[in-house]
Structures are given as C-alpha cells and as structure tokens.
Amino acid sequence: MAWYLVKLVIMLPLIAVLVWGCLRLTQKMQARAGIGAGRTVRVVETVMLSPTHKLAVLEFHGREILVSVSRGGLVRLAEADAREEFE
C-alpha cells in the first residue's frame, strides 16, 4: 500500500506538468501558425432550421452576411452593415 502511495505522489505532479506543458506548446504553435489571432471572420449567430440546414450570420470587415448552411455548401442570402454592439 505504501509503494502505491509513493508512486501516486510522484506520478500525479508529473502528469500535471506534462498536461500543462502540452497546453503551453499548443498555444505557442497556434500563435506561430496564426490560428486564433487577427481573425477577420466571426460567427455572430446560428439558427438550426432542420437537422441538415441552418442559417448563420457572419461578420466580415464591418459587414454582416446571412448564409444558408447545408450539406451541399453555403449560399449567401443577404448582406448588411454590421450592427453596433451594446454592452
């Protein structure tokens, strides 16, 4: 029983350090690849119409674009100036 507790005390912090290191490495790799930083497209809202169809509002360079999303692809339905967001 004592040997099990010794292994537990040693392995638990080791696993925690490995998980922390993996997360830090992932953040650095994403920053290097440009993922997540400076995005020009943002999903404002989505609405499911059926299991295979939904509507999505995308914000792109100060414009809001309404698109229909299905298995066949995307179809642009409408476009307007971006709304002011109130906090």
Tell me the pTM: 0.53
Q: Are 67 and 52 in contact (CB under 8 A)?
A: no
Find all residues with CB under 8 Å of 69, minimum gap 6, and list them.
46, 53, 54, 55, 56
The C-alpha atoms of residue 50 and residue 15 are separated, in whole angstroms, by: 43
The tens place of each residue's pLDDT in the chain, 87 residues long, gives 889 999 999 999 999 999 999 999 998 888 777 665 567 888 889 999 999 999 999 999 889 999 999 999 999 999 998 877 644
Computed on alpha carbons and rounded to an integer, the radius of gyration of the chain in Å comes to 23
